[in-house]
Each structure stands twice: as structure tokens, then as C-alpha cells.
Amino acid sequence: MAVLCLICENAITPTTPSTKCGTCKKHAHIKCLKLSESEIAEIINDKSSWICPKCSPSSNIISIEKIEEIIIKQLSVVQQDIKQTIENHFKAINDRLTTVEDNVRLIQEEWAAFKTSNTMPNNNSSDLSVIVAEIEERKRRSSNVLLFNLPESSSTSIAQMVADDLQQVMSILSPLGFFSHPQKVIRIGPPKSNTVRPLRIVCENENMAKDILRSNKNNPNVINSFVLI
């Protein structure tokens, strides 16, 4: 098998001056080495002194200038990427701030229009408390019923008077189909001679109060009068 020159890649004949690399042992024509006569004489005298360009240590060493060039090029690419990323983030933040400013401006305009409208309520806390108290009072009174013409107890004991009133109330409500006792029964106003005070009946709920009125109205045999308060 013919031996090829590692430089020109042509065959090396036995009559052609040649040498081989002291490291990889590949052959090369002396004429292809482009060396001086003294260098050629040294190679001829010492066949292992020549090292081919591929095996030469200098061929594997990158110059500092080349390294700096590569680093600078890579840093330039990274710098551009960072700059673009920062610009994109700032643009996104700016767009969000613009949206927030628009929303704040819209809220301010709506609030200004609301304050100047005729439907703007008084923001005084005491007025609000009065409104809330009135609502609660109406809700509480919706389950109350006033009963007129119910004789008062002759007892001087308050507890006995309440028990007597409750007994009379149940004697009226039971025939109407109400068997649950009211939560409370209370006489309205201070006692007066020859005067029967109305009795306030506190029902369980508003529906019970309305049912009592409806049943009383449809029963002509009941002589007492119920009204909602």
C-alpha cells in the first residue's frame, strides 16, 4: 500500500526524499516541508526531530488576541440580548402604567360626576346610623301585632299580669289555628283606670303576624281587633 504525503497527499516513493512526524509517524516529502537547507539537514540526520503541523504544540494554542476577539464578540451578543430584554420589560411596564393612569382618570371622573349628582347621599355617619336604625326598627315592628279590647289582669304582680295576658292571647289564637306562644306580650303605656291598654304581641316572624291578621279578619266571631304596627 502506497504511503501518502500528509501535506500534498501524493505517493511517497522509495527514491523520493521524505521524513515522518516524530509524534504521529505520518510521512511527508522533504520538498513539501518548505524548510531551509539547515533544517532539512537536521531532519535527515535525526529522523525523529520533525513534528508535523498538526502535532506541533503551537497549532493547539490560541493566541491571547484571538481569545479576546472571541470574548468581545460573545459579550457584544450578550449585551444586545440584555439591552433588548430590558427595553421589552420597560415597554411592558410603561404600557401597564398607561392603563392604570387611564383607569384612575376614569374613576376620578365617575366619582366627580357621582358627587355632583342629585342622588348623592349625605355621607354623615350619624345620618347613616339613623337610616340603619330606622331599617332595623321597621324590620322588628313587622312581626308585631297590636291587640285591642283585651281585658287587663287584676293582679298586682307584673309576672302574673304577663301570664294572664299570654293566657288570654292563646285563648284567642288557638281557635284560629295558632298553637305556638308569641315571643312576648307587652301592654302599651302606663296603667289608667277605666282604660284598657292595647297589648303588643311579638310574633316569631312577619309571616305569623300577617297570618294572625288574616285569620282574625276572616273570623266574624272574634270581638278583639288586631292591627300591624
The answer on pLDDT for 76 being more than 70 is: yes
Mean pLDDT along residues 62-77: 77
Domain 3-60 sits in which CATH superfamily?
A: Zinc/RING finger domain, C3HC4 (zinc finger) (3.30.40.10)
* Sign (positive or negative) of CA dihedral 168, 220, 149, 208: positive
Position 161 confidence tier, pLDDT thresholds 50, 70, 90: very high
State residue 129's pLDDT score. 76
Mean pLDDT along residues 106-112: 79
Position 162 confidence tier, pLDDT thresholds 50, 70, 90: very high
- Using CA atoms, how far residue 48 sits from 16, 20, 23, 156, 209, in Å, is 18, 7, 8, 140, 123
The answer on pLDDT for 156 being more than 80 is: yes
CB of 173 within 8 A of CB of 212? yes
Q: What is the pLDDT of residues 172-182, one digit of tens each?
A: 888 888 888 88
DSSP result, 199-214: EEEE-SSHHHHHHHHH
State residue 99's pLDDT score. 82
State residue 66's pLDDT score. 67
Q: What is the pLDDT of residues 123-145, one digit of tens each?
A: 555 667 777 777 777 777 788 88
Task: State the Cα–Cα distance between residues 97 and 93, nearest whole angstrom.
Answer: 6
Does the fold of domain 141-228 match that of domain 3-60? no
The answer on pLDDT for 206 being more than 80 is: yes
Position 60 confidence tier, pLDDT thresholds 50, 70, 90: very low
As given in the structure block, the three cell numbers for residue 160 are 302574673
Q: Which CATH number fits domain 141-228: 3.30.70.330, 3.20.20.80, 3.10.450.230, 2.60.120.10?
A: 3.30.70.330
Give the pairing type, strands 144-148 and 225-228. antiparallel
The answer on pLDDT for 120 being more than 50 is: no
The answer on pLDDT for 29 being more than 80 is: yes
As given in the structure block, the three cell numbers for residue 207 are 309571616
How big, in percent rounded to 5, are the helix, strand and coil portions of the chain?
50, 15, 35
- Enumerate the domain spans of the chain: 3-60, 141-228
If DSSP codes are grouped into helix, strand and coil, which group holds residue 148? Answer: strand
